[in-house]
Chain A
């Protein structure tokens, strides 16, 4: 008897569980794969918090298409093979309707290729490699964040107005570092043909011993230095470069270095006067953005970083696409994403039909210390929308033709 009494509720639960997917109220499931441990981990925590915030907000308003949204998180550990395993599991076992997330470029590319092979929608949030939407692009992938090419170009436009002619660069020995530099350099040379490159340095990612690099750069006597160092390498570089007087002698241009992820850990050691791309959340006056900052700060007790904005925008985009498609069917979702317009805290962005790249832009500005908050901030900044630096549809078609 006792067993039966215990079994009763169990059977009821099972019956409910079985019945649920058939009803209209089954949740919309999104599989979120990201580097919650490993080398991407410092960046994904605030991203995840914003995703959870977006999902709670939409569910409080009744969800999408009358259905609740459920996000299932998986840790790719910074390994492409692990990410593919999660994609298999999320789609085959959890029956998610689409995959989203990823931070590292190689992880993004691995998931993207898997999505193409299996005809699953993949909304890449943060990976920066331009290959994702161009040379390796396909119909099932969309990307939110402005890529390496766009950000390099934004910086070149601004740097081209300044007088520096002798340039050096330092960046991680990765496609990211190389492309960030090439895009910038090529555009800068178009704007200023007299520009010369006096040195290129490609230290191993995550293992930068900065001293010798700083000395080598100083001895090449550049007027300006283009930096694409990543994460902890940049933090270590700043201290050693500061002690060796580099920032006093050389003008620094840094891709991403104005993002709170990069500048906040430096506290008052952040170098002033660098030209950077970043996210001046403290200065953006749009009411929707102010509300985003207030809600995020209240929720996490921390200020937002770029990853938070990207996470929030990614999920707003997904909700909007589902609404527009009126369905969770992959083909309809893909069609909805092409040319999709989304209202975000930083204004309207669109997903280009030609390549799936969003037109979300970035801010370009100069760094300065804010003694009140005890961190570096961006001043004289300008928001450059993606449209202004993205290549035309014809150029994109050429880049994608190899596929």
Chain B
């Protein structure tokens, strides 16, 4: 590698890093202060990019239009952030914190369809930045002027943020709240105002990042999902809530990406996640993050008391209906029921981690996808009979879960979540790249049930058996001494440790058990569809069960299957009847979160108890 190549690659990496920094710093701030995992951050980024596109064309300012448009778009997105925080998020601050995540997920859907509606689905090339559209020779090669301007802008924004945090009263409060927001509240600081202002600033930064991306990237309907994961990775590597950390991490990711192209071109899909996994294993709070203050509430983050149950009579009635009714249903509804059963089990397996264990996973798709691939590979390569391939799936998934779970359970909260995501993405990259074995992105086909199980009803009863047995076992595990201990660990890790509980072994076991049943769900699903693709390990497949658990109610075990059923039904109906299924689904989810801020069963069973 010549020195000039190294220099140019470094500069390219830095330009990318500056955009990442803008987006990630906003996300990091919002999480640091409000503890909101803001999935909609990518949507704000996309919205600002499209606004910049339209405003640049509309403003009558000649060459200045673009620059004014950038500021206006970022400000408009800041205003959207204000509306979202005050009108929606504020209503659910008293709910367990994850419910804000559900709300931001709904927002992602709504914004995606709004963009589709107003700007259409065609890819667009935005305007170039007037005055900065050309390039300058550096070390014998041409380098875009705009990228140089970005490299200069990044430190300016970082310095401005530093000034804000270290030289203003507001900044001091923000830093204090990031470290210990309960103490700040106890000292009489108006939290509502603080949260709103942080959310507006964070959204503004996302908007600025999106607006400044316009001259560099095409505008697409999927910009939101393609940036959000990267932004979270940067935030977590840097340390949640740390702006200097976000800057450092953005530079690391930008530069690693730029040199990865030269040194390890085949690993581009996964580089970022490997870096994150390594950083988290070595530094569990990110590069510049700090360990979180021990929560003071006796109950821990998720549980508001002892778990509530659903009356046994209801369970028996539902089960009886699931056995008796399907023969009367049209075939398609039987298929839909199979899909619901698979997801009910999938969500229930996640509930063991999230609900009972208090470990929120962003990578549970790994269990599902590895189970599905386990079955498919056993059939395709080992020529295993279908029942054997079906039964083998949970074992494959559990084995893999044991492997990566070993590392994950060393971490807590969002860092745990992001490490699970990293492993799910690494698994995704492996099945995607390993053409000879997994078929790569063309997947494996012909994974159908054995002929004697292929009839819809027969396969349905197999799925029902797998799902009912799996869910029952998960329920029993949750109530067994093991589950109770897990709950103790969730509610107060230090006390649990003090009475002699081996925290990590319990969490690790829970991880393996959740992997086992997630894998069983994957097997149920793969024989329904007949084929498997890396898609089964995508981020979306980790987010969906999370949404289902929250929708049903994270404090109630039955909430997971109920949430799965409601989500899948809503999705199926909305997709069938409208082109704009995202806005319909998103709006319904929003209403559900606002009406049932602890999940549907969570609120219902609370009312029942009076």
User: Which A residues are within 8 Å of any B CB, using their own CB?
Assistant: 36-39, 41-42, 44-45, 74-75, 77, 79-82, 84-85, 88-89, 92-93, 105-106, 109-110, 112-114, 117, 129, 131, 136, 173-175, 200-204, 206-207, 209, 211-213, 215-216, 218-219, 231-233, 235-236, 238-240, 243-245, 265-267, 269
* Interface-facing stretch out of B93-101, B213-221, B385-393, B487-495: B213-221
Listed A/B pairs (26) with beta-carbon separation below 8 Å = A36-B579, A37-B112, A38-B222, A41-B121, A41-B221, A44-B121, A45-B120, A75-B579, A89-B576, A93-B330, A106-B535, A117-B446, A136-B445, A173-B268, A175-B435, A212-B12, A212-B258, A215-B5, A216-B261, A219-B2, A232-B123, A232-B217, A232-B219, A235-B218, A243-B134, A245-B142
B582 to A, closest residue via Cβ? A37
Q: Does the CB pair B266–A239 fall under 8 Å? A: no
Q: From B12, B120, B442, B582, give the contact of A105 (CB < 8 A).
A: B442
A203 to B335 alpha-carbon distance, docked (Å):
37
**B502 CB-CB contact with A under 8 Å:** no
A215 to B147 alpha-carbon distance, docked (Å):
14
B433 to A, closest residue via Cβ? A173
Q: A206-B222, A215-B9 are in contact. Are A110 and B448 (CB under 8 A)?
A: no
- Identify 6 new A-B residue pairs, CB closer than 8 A, beyond the known A37-B581, A81-B533: A37-B221, A113-B530, A117-B448, A207-B230, A212-B258, A233-B218
Q: Does the CB pair B125–A203 fall under 8 Å? A: no
Q: Does the CB pair B339–A211 fall under 8 Å? A: no
Q: Is the interface of B mostly helix, strand, loop or mixed?
A: helix
Most buried by B among A203, A212, A218, A269: A212
**B283 CB-CB contact with A under 8 Å:** no
Q: Does the CB pair B261–A201 fall under 8 Å? A: yes
Q: From A75, A129, A209, A216, give the contact of B442 (CB < 8 A).
A: A129
A267 to B120 alpha-carbon distance, docked (Å):
17
In the complex, which residues 400-442 of chain B have their Cβ closer than 8 Å to any Cβ of chain A?
432-433, 435, 440-442
Q: Does the CB pair B576–A42 fall under 8 Å? A: no
Q: How many A-B residue pairs have CB under 8 A?
A: 195
Q: A41-B221, A92-B331, A211-B12 are in contact. Are A244 and B445 (CB under 8 A)?
A: no
Q: Does the CB pair A85–B339 fall under 8 Å? A: yes
Q: A89-B576, A239-B128, A244-B135 are in contact. Are A109 and B531 (CB under 8 A)?
A: yes
Measured CB to CB, the closest approach of chain B to A64, in angstroms, equals 26
Give the interface size bracket for B toward A: 35 or more
B454 to A, closest residue via Cβ? A117
A129 to B435 alpha-carbon distance, docked (Å):
14
Q: Does the CB pair B579–A92 fall under 8 Å? A: no
Q: Is the interface of A mostly helix, strand, loop or mixed?
A: helix
A203 to B, closest residue via Cβ? B268
What residues on B are CB-neighbors of A203 within 8 Å? 261, 268
Q: Does the CB pair B265–A201 fall under 8 Å? A: yes
Q: Does the CB pair B5–A211 fall under 8 Å? A: no
What residues on A are CB-neighbors of B442 within 8 Å? 105-106, 109, 129, 131, 136, 175
Measured CB to CB, the closest approach of chain B to A51, in angstroms, equals 14
**B326 CB-CB contact with A under 8 Å:** no
Q: Does the CB pair A81–B535 fall under 8 Å? A: yes
A109 to B435 alpha-carbon distance, docked (Å):
15
**B61 CB-CB contact with A under 8 Å:** no
Q: A92-B332, A110-B529, A175-B440 are in contact. Are A211 and B222 (CB under 8 A)?
A: no
